[in-house]
Amino acid sequence: MANGGPVCGPISSYSRVRILHLLFEAGRSSGRSELTIAELCEATALHPNTVREHLQRLIEGGYVIPAVEHRTTRGRPRTLYRAATGAAGASSPVARDKAKAAARRGDLLRRMLPDAASGLDTDATYQLDALVEHLEESGFEPVVDTARLTVDLSPCPHAAGRLEDRPILCRVHLGLMQGVLAEAGGPLEATCVQASDAPADCVVQLQERVVHPQERTGDAHGMA
């Protein structure tokens, strides 16, 4: 973060990072992909009201999806929470709306500044619009290299933090970026944070996959 300002958004609180980490891990498991407030409280040792507050912020940002439990027995159904990854059943309407708005603002910028065009196809360009806005809202100043398909976030604002916290922080931040790209729809995926000997270096590697015609998402951007 070049300006040295505070980190904002979903990774501004390490408690929120821990909640997101648990939800991402649940989504990757072969069992349940959703967790309850009680389960999140047990795993984090946070008070239920604190967990609820964090979850509400994450839902409003489009990073977590709530769902009411379907019960076949008597009793009040619980609310279940899952990470918004953009996959089937894990797509957030808030995140989709944010991607559409980012695409519209990106198109306006490209009309005003033709040199800002990336050379990538429309879907990939809209994905980068969504990703850059997500990163800027989180307090970063991303530098995108469309030739190398990298996003440079150096210097990492977490480099001075506790060393033991960084692995989870990096995994969660990568998962958030993957979710933003998936929600926007298109060929780009975030694959990893490049390894570096310098703790302040943070460069995210993207890759372009082959998208089949039935996966094209022009309507999702509201641009079709």
Q: What residue ranges do the domains of the chain occupy?
A: 9-221
CATH number of 9-221: 1.10.10.10
pLDDT tens digits along 99-156: 999 999 999 999 998 877 778 899 999 999 999 999 999 888 899 999 999 999 998 8
**pLDDT single digits (tens) 172-218:** 999 999 999 999 999 999 999 998 888 889 999 999 987 666 555 44
How many C-beta atoms surround the C-beta of residue 75 within 10 A? 7
Q: Which residue has the higher pLDDT, 27 or 174?
A: 174
- d(Cα 137, Cα 159) in Å, to the nearest integer? 19
Specify the pTM: 0.87
Which pLDDT score is estimated for 2?
A: 36
Give CA separation, 218 vs 122, 176, 212, 214, in Å: 8, 22, 13, 11
